[in-house]
């Protein structure tokens, strides 16, 4: 049959089946059968002829199960033999093998219900025993996942041939008995024409039952097809955004890389998506993902590409282009549209995202680029966007890859540096401005990396991202308190020490245990320990942070707000933390000598601190003129290069003790 004709036939049958599955279609068929009954009652001779044909059909129906069972047995034999030859069951053949087995179960049950005399009963029982053996072999193999295909094929072939032999014997006897019964039935029907009316009525009822069962089977099959399509959809699409998922993304971009040498990949990551979920709820977060997904899909389709959601708040856009100017225009449009305020349930949300961009021609103009290579360098560009302040696009280049290799190497070495004691504690003096006497220090960390001293600006950011900053802070806390306490006891001094704490510490109460252990092991008086909280770090859970700070105060340690004036939530910090000390950031000191506005601003901050009964330390003092202005404006304590740069702890302690003794002599 030609393919087009076959398609038309299938479509026609499908329409017929759809019509039959409707209630109107069923009623129409049943009505037609009832009309046939009325006509049969009027025309008795037609009824008798119809009875003959129907009786033959009944015989065929009664015996068809045996024939169909024989076909199923042959099908099982062929499938197992094919699997033995191939060395495995293909998914389609395994599914067919299981379906034929279950269908054969129904055939056997129906054959078991066949009635007959004693001779038929004996043959039927023998056939049933062999058939049940075959079914057990098939079901056991299906349940076990077809462990031994050779044994399966052999057993199916042996029991199958035996089953078909007994079924043929059963079929012959059954046909003979059916023929005798049919003749008797027809003789009786001819003698009593009224019996011809019963048969059509019976057929009408039977037809109605068949239609009901057919409708149910079609509806179940339709539901199964729908479920299979849904499963297939979930395998290749993201259910929330309707974008291709990672699996489809991988398939499509690999095809594109094979077909084209000009492919651009954009990796897109939402900025502070956790903050959106925490602030507005997960429903709002889901709405933002869908909103961003629509924007990305629109821009991707305009550029003849496609967008995908890779998971979480990570997206990708693939475009068959290598023109950087056009691609940058695409990225700028995405950034602008996503950055527009988004309203969800009367809440105004301002999402943002970072983009990393790389093209195949940037990586290697002469060799075909693999997906792994393109993905890796695009990741580099995305991380660069994150590190440079977010809400921006970064295009990959070779220098960037080297920087990220160094970054990855540093991140891998940091845990060992903490464990091996390669982190060094440096101290920078804090002085009383009125007389220049050193009264304490700020503990700072340096990394002795293979003999080179690495400043904190090169690795603390990595530690913040990876969570290692908690271990670094704990190390510095323990080491600084130990060094200062031992020095004070040995030299009869009373220096204090300030230690920085990351905002990560304030998400739980474990920092209380760390501080308590450090004080107990070092025997440093608690009033000589100042814990500095950086004001530029945003704390999300103020209630939890306040509980931790109150617990630290109960231990007798002091709390300082560091870098005050450099952040965005200064007043919020002052209200929530209730610190002992305020450390004013150097940005308020840089222009004191040349700007009246800078002096007015510093004076205002000092007034606020004094009104709140806070000690004030001004950071970043580098010249005597700055020190004089700061002191005259009302500051009592200072810190900066004028009084000393950070030095190794013992060197700074020795120098400070010498200076202190000289000034007090």
HSE-up (13 A, CA, CB side) for residue 125 = 6
**pLDDT tens digit sequence for 120-151:** 666 667 767 777 777 777 777 777 777 777 77
| C-alpha to C-alpha distance for 586 and 584, rounded to whole angstroms | 7
The mean pLDDT value of the chain amounts to 79
- Residues recorded for the chain: 665
Of the ranges 55-64, 132-141, 439-448, 454-463, the best mean pLDDT one? 439-448
Of the ranges 22-26, 124-128, 130-134, 441-445, the best mean pLDDT one? 441-445
Query: Can you give the three-state secondary structure of 64-127, one letter per residue?
Result: HHHHHHHHHHHHHHHHHHHHHHHCCCCHHHHHHHHHHHHHHHHHHHHHHCCCCCHHHHHHHHHH
**How far is C-alpha 545 from the geometric centre of its chain's CA atoms?**
30
Burial class (CB in 10 A: 0-12, 13-18, 19+), 366: exposed
Q: What is the pLDDT of residue 159?
A: 76
58 pLDDT higher than 50: no
Q: What is the pLDDT of residue 29?
A: 65
333 pLDDT higher than 80: yes
Sequential DSSP letters for 237-292: B-TTT-SB-HHHHHHHHHHHHHH-S--EEEEEEETTHHHHHHHH-HHHHHHHHHHH
**pLDDT tens digit sequence for 370-406:** 888 888 888 888 888 887 888 889 898 877 777 777 8
Q: Which residues 6+ apart lie within 8 Å of 447 measured at CB?
A: 417, 422, 423, 424, 453, 454, 456, 458, 459
Sequential DSSP letters for 445-474: EEEEETTEEEPGGGTHHHHHHHTTHHHHHH
Of the listed ranges 230-239, 244-253, 495-504, 641-650, the least confidently predicted one is 230-239
- Across 277-305, average pLDDT: 89
Asked whether 552 and 530 are in contact (CB, 8 A), the reply is: no
Q: What is the pLDDT of residue 536?
A: 45
Task: List the beta bridge partners of residue 319.
Answer: 264
Of the listed ranges 16-20, 54-58, 375-379, the least confidently predicted one is 54-58
Q: Which residue has the higher pLDDT, 58 or 638?
A: 638
Give 619's pLDDT tier (boundaries 50, 70, 90): very high
287 pLDDT higher than 50: yes
Helix (H, G, I), strand (E, B) or coil at 620: coil
Structural domains of the chain in order of their starting residue, each with its CATH number: 13-234 (1.20.120.1730), 246-396 (3.30.70.270), 409-657 (3.20.20.450)
- pTM passes above 0.85: no
């Amino acid at each position: 049959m030609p393919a087009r004709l076959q398609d038309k036939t299938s479509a026609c049958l499908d329409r017929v089946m759809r019509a039959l599955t409707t209630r109107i279609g069923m009623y129409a068929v049943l009505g037609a059968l009832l009309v046939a009954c009325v006509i049969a009652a009027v025309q008795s001779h037609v009824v008798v002829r119809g009875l003959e044909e129907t009786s033959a059909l009944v015989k065929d129906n009664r015996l068809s199960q045996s024939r169909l069972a024989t076909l199923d047995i042959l099908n099982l034999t062929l499938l197992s033999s094919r699997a033995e030859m191939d060395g495995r069951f293909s998914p389609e053949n395994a599914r067919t093998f299981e379906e034929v087995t279950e269908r054969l179960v129904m055939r056997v049950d129906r054959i078991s219900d066949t009635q007959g005399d004693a001779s038929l009963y004996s043959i039927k029982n023998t056939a049933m025993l062999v058939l049940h053996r075959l079914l057990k072999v098939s079901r056991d193999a299906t349940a076990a996942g077809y462990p031994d295909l050779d044994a399966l094929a052999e057993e199916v072939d042996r029991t199958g041939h035996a089953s078909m032999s007994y079924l043929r014997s059963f079929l012959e006897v059954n046909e003979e008995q059916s023929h005798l019964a049919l003749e008797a039935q027809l003789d009786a029907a001819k003698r009593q024409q009224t019996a011809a009316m019963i048969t059509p009525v019976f057929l009408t009822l039977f037809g109605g039952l068949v239609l009901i069962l057919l409708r149910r089977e079609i509806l179940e099959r339709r539901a199964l097809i729908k479920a299979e399509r849904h499963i297939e959809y979930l395998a290749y699409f993201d259910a929330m955004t309707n974008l291709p998922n990672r699996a489809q993304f991988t398939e499509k971009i690999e095809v594109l890389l094979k077909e084209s040498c000009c492919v651009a990949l954009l990796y897109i990551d939402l900025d502070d998506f956790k903050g959106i979920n925490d602030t507005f709820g997960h429903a709002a977060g889901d709405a933002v993902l869908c909103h961003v997904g629509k924007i990305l899909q629109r821009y991707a389709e305009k550029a003849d590409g496609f967008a995908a959601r890779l998971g979480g708040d990570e997206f990708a856009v693939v475009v068959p282009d290598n023109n950087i100017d056009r691609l940058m225009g695409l990225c700028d449009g995405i950034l602008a549209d996503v950055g527009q305020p988004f309203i969800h349930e009367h809440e105004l949300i301002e999402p943002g995202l970072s983009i990393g961009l790389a093209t195949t021609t940037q990586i290697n103009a002469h060799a075909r680029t693999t997906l792994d290579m393109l993905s890796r360098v695009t990741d580099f560009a995305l991380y660069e966007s994150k590190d440079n302040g977010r809400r921006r696009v970064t295009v990959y280049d070779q220098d960037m890859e080297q920087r990220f290799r160094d970054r990855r190497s540093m991140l891998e070495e940091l845990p060992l540096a903490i464990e091996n004691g390669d982190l060094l504690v440096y101290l920078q003096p804090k002085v009383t401005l009125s007389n220049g006497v050193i009264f304490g220090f700020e503990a700072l960390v340096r990394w002795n990396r293979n003999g080179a001293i690495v400043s904190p600006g090169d690795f603390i950011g990595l530690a913040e991202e990876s969570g290692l900053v908690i271990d670094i802070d704990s190390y510095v806390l323990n080491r600084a308190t130990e060094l200062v306490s031992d020095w004070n006891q040995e030299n009869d001094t009373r220096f204090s020490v300030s230690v920085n704490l990351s905002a990560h510490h304030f998400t739980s109460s474990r920092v209380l245990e760390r501080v308590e252990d450090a004080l107990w092991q070092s025997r440093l008086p608690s009033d000589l320990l100042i814990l500095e909280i950086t004001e530029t770090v945003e704390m999300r859970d103020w209630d939890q942070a306040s509980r931790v700070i109150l617990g630290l105060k109960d231990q007798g340690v002091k709390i300082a707000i560091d870098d005050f004036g450099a952040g965005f939530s200064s007043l919020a910090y002052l209200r929530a933390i209730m610190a002992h000390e305020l450390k004013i950031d150097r940005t308020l000191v840089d222009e004191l000598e040349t700007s009246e506005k800078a002096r007015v601003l510093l004076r205002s901050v000092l007034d606020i601190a004094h009104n709140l009964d806070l000690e004030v330390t001004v950071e970043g003092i580098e010249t005597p003129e700055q020190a004089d202005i700061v002191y005259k404006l009302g500051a009592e304590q200072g810190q900066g290069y004028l009084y000393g740069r950070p030095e190794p702890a013992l060197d700074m302690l020795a120098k400070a003790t010498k200076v202190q003794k000289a000034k007090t002599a």
